């Protein structure tokens, strides 16, 4: 199971990639695999402020709908429009083209409080 | 034999594990929900062929001089009207008209019938049928745990199966059944299925399930045959407008309310629930309809259905998904009978939103259309 080293992770199976004063968020390969074929992703409006662990959207597979939890508090600055027409990107490239939101964290140090790749690997038993 | 309280497993469970299947609990059995992915498996059935392990379903043999008349009083159809080698779709109703199960009845002889209930209701149907046949000259044998059932479904199913069975498939019409061999073992070959495609269901002895499965996989894989799980089985039957017990059918509904009044014909002798069904036909409480969502969103089981602008739900979704074939969100739902006309617009409650949907005719998908 792919767990890229340069990312941060949550126990809810989201990843976060810091890019300067912004962060990109998506779900991990483990979560995508658990979900199965993704058929629908509901993302928030740009400009919305979300709290840490607040539900920012919903991801639906053929069989289920699951909430998406924001890893750190911040303001949404962009969402991945490609997921509207191609939700399957979450399955095929969960850490890259399947990204979901870009936000500006309220606290620039917050991402470092998240799990690193080794800690996340331990959680998923890999 | 498994311990009481634990999950049952079919004779093919190790084959499923070997194919990388994800297994879930269904109707008291451990069954594959998917192998490679629900959408890939669904598309394989629509374009080539899919193979399904359905050994969890029930098989009840009803035999004897009063098998036909006994069944005709016990269920909502009259199997005595079937020619030998033919089958029909039926339901078992409670005295109040509520649906206990939907089933297929096959006629294998003048006094020999095979009743196939759903896995989740197999024990209930067997017990109820035994009770309803008591005092008649008919015997019931429950062969559920001694029968493996494998289905091959899709436009290439006939091509794949034909060289592997001594049953002539071209003369075998839809809803017909014949005895013979398949993959070298004794089998009943039925041209029935739950996908909306052409296909066959093979009833074999429990221990013969693996050889039938492996022979079909080996012969069919080069032609595009894929193993398919319960996930794809559900999306396929939903596209084909077929009801699922526990979603569209249950004790709180009748055949007429489910749009299947033609199954429970009232112009014949008495059967369990007949009088209640006659009263219900004149005053149904709800009507099952097909819905296509007109905006982004997926309707799912249990979501409320509203008339536009209403505060209180008028009905609810029974099944829903993103249709892999049609690429729109489809659903079945119960609405008030006077809101069931084709073209009626409703709103489906999806989390905090209301998504408009249109009442459409079933099925959503028809093969060859």
Give the pLDDT score at B5: 66
Please name the residues in contact with B228: beta carbons below 8 A apart, sequence gap of 6 or more: B35, B41, B42, B44, B45, B50, B51, B52, B153
Using CB atoms, which residue from A36, A65, A91 is nearest to B34? A36
- The enclosing H or E element of B3 equals none
Residue in B25, B42, B231, B236 to test binding to A, most A beta-carbons within 10 Å: B231
Residues of chain B with pLDDT under 50: 1
How far B251 CA lies from chain A's nearest CA (Å)?
24
How far B30 CA lies from chain A's nearest CA (Å)?
17
A70-98 pLDDT, tens digit each = 999 999 999 999 999 999 999 999 999 99
Using CB atoms, which residue from B231, B296, B297 is nearest to A62? B231
Determine whether the interchain pair B38/A60 forms a contact, defined as Cβ–Cβ distance below 8 Å. Answer: no
Determine whether the interchain pair A58/B351 forms a contact, defined as Cβ–Cβ distance below 8 Å. Answer: yes
Ordered domains of chain B (ranges, CATH): 8-53+146-239 (3.30.1360.120), 60-142 (3.30.70.1400), 286-360 (2.40.30.110)
Neighbours of B195 (CB within 10 A): 26
For residues B237 and B196, what is the distance between their CA atoms, to the nearest angstrom? 7
Domain boundaries, chain A: 8-124
Give the pLDDT score at B6: 86
Partners of A42 on chain B (C-beta within 8 Å) are 296, 351
B221-269 pLDDT, tens digit each = 999 999 999 999 999 999 999 999 999 999 999 999 999 999 999 999 9
How far A105 CA lies from chain B's nearest CA (Å)?
26
Please name the residues in contact with B167: beta carbons below 8 A apart, sequence gap of 6 or more: B178, B179, B180, B181, B182, B187, B189
Q: Does A55 touch chain B (CB under 8 A)?
A: no
How far B240 CA lies from chain A's nearest CA (Å)?
16
Determine whether the interchain pair A62/B33 forms a contact, defined as Cβ–Cβ distance below 8 Å. Answer: no
| Confidence label for A49 from pLDDT (cuts 50, 70 and 90) | very high
Give the pLDDT score at B171: 95
For residues B91 and B296, what is the distance between their CA atoms, to the nearest angstrom? 36
ipTM passes above 0.85: yes
Q: Does B300 touch chain A (CB under 8 A)?
A: yes
Q: What angle do CA B356, B359, B362 make, to 5 degrees?
A: 135
* Average pLDDT score over chain A: 96
Give the pLDDT score at A126: 61
| Confidence label for A59 from pLDDT (cuts 50, 70 and 90) | very high
How far B177 CA lies from chain A's nearest CA (Å)?
33
Q: Is the dihedral of CA B306, B311, B315, B316 positive or negative?
A: positive
Q: What angle do CA A92, A95, A98 make, to 5 degrees?
A: 55
| Paired sense of beta strands B147-153 and B199-205, if any | antiparallel
Determine whether the interchain pair A65/B300 forms a contact, defined as Cβ–Cβ distance below 8 Å. Answer: yes
Partners of B300 on chain A (C-beta within 8 Å) are 65
Residue entry with tokens 């074939």: B325
Residue entry with tokens 């058929």: A39
Determine whether the interchain pair A36/B231 forms a contact, defined as Cβ–Cβ distance below 8 Å. Answer: yes
Give the pLDDT score at B1: 47
> Residue A52: pLDDT above 90?
yes
Q: Which CATH number fits domain A8-124: 3.40.50.970, 2.40.50.100, 2.40.33.20, 2.120.10.30?
A: 2.40.50.100
How far A61 CA lies from chain B's nearest CA (Å)?
9
The pair of structure tokens assigned to B298 is 């997926």
Partners of A35 on chain B (C-beta within 8 Å) are none
DSSP string, B89-102: EEEEE-TTS-EEEE
What's the predicted TM-score (pTM) here? Answer: 0.95
Neighbours of B203 (CB within 10 A): 24
The pair of structure tokens assigned to A39 is 């058929």
Which of A 88-107 lie inside 8 A of B, CB atoms? 91
Partners of A84 on chain B (C-beta within 8 Å) are 296
Q: Does A60 touch chain B (CB under 8 A)?
A: yes
A6-21 pLDDT, tens digit each = 999 999 999 999 999 9
Q: How far is CA B104 from the centre of its chain?
A: 8
Angle of helix B230-239 versus helix B38-47 axis, rounded to 10: 50
């Amino acid at each position: 199971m792919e767990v890229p080293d340069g990312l941060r992770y949550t126990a809810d199976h989201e990843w976060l990639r810091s890019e300067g004063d912004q962060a990109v968020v998506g779900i991990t390969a483990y979560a995508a695999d658990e979900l199965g074929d993704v058929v629908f992703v509901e993302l928030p409006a740009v400009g919305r402020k979300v709290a840490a662990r607040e539900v920012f959207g919903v991801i639906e597979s053929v069989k289920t709908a699951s909430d998406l939890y924001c890893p750190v508090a911040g303001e949404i600055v962009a969402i991945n429009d490609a997921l509207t027409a191609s939700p399957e990107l979450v399955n095929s490239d969960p850490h890259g083209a399947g990204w979901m939101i870009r936000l500006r964290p309220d606290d620039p140090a917050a991402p470092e409080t998240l799990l690193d790749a080794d800690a996340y690997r331990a959680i998923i038993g890999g | 034999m498994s311990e009481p309280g634990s999950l049952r497993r079919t004779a093919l469970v190790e084959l499923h594990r070997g194919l990388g299947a994800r297994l879930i609990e269904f109707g008291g059995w451990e069954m594959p929900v998917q192998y490679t992915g629900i959408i890939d498996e669904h598309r394989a059935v629509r374009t080539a062929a899919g193979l399904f392990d359905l050994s969890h379903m029930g098989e009840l043999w009803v035999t004897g001089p009063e098998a036909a008349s006994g069944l005709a009083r016990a269920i909502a159809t009259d199997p005595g009207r079937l020619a030998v080698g033919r089958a029909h779709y039926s339901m078992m109703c409670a005295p109040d008209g509520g649906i206990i199960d939907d089933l297929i009845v096959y006629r294998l002889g003048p006094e020999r019938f095979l009743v196939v209930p759903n896995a989740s209701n197999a024990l209930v149907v067997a017990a109820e049928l035994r009770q309803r046949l008591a005092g008649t000259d008919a015997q019931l044998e429950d062969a559920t745990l001694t029968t493996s059932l494998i289905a091959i479904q899709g436009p290439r199913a006939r091509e794949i199966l034909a060289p592997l069975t001594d049953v002539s498939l071209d003369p075998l019409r839809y809803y017909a059944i014949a005895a013979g061999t398949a993959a070298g073992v004794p089998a009943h070959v039925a041209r029935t299925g739950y996908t909306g495609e052409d296909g066959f269901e093979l009833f074999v002895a429990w221990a013969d399930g693996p050889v039938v499965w492996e022979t079909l996989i080996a012969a069919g894989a080069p032609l595009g045959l894929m193993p398919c799980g319960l996930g794809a089985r559900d999306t396929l039957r939903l596209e084909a407008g077929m009801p699922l017990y526990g979603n569209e059918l249950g004790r709180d509904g009748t055949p007429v309310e489910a749009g299947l009044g033609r199954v429970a014909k009232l112009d014949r002798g008495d059967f369990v629930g007949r009088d209640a069904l006659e009263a219900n036909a004149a005053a149904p409480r709800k009507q099952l309809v097909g819905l296509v969502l007109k905006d982004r969103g997926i309707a799912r089981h249990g979501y409320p259905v509203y008339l536009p602008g209403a505060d209180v739900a008028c009905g609810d979704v029974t099944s829903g998904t993103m249709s892999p074939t049609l690429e729109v969100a489809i659903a079945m739902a119960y609405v008030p009978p006077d809101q069931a006309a084709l073209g009626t617009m409703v709103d489906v409650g999806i989390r905090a939103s209301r998504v408009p949907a249109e009442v459409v005719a079933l099925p959503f998908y028809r093969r060859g259309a």
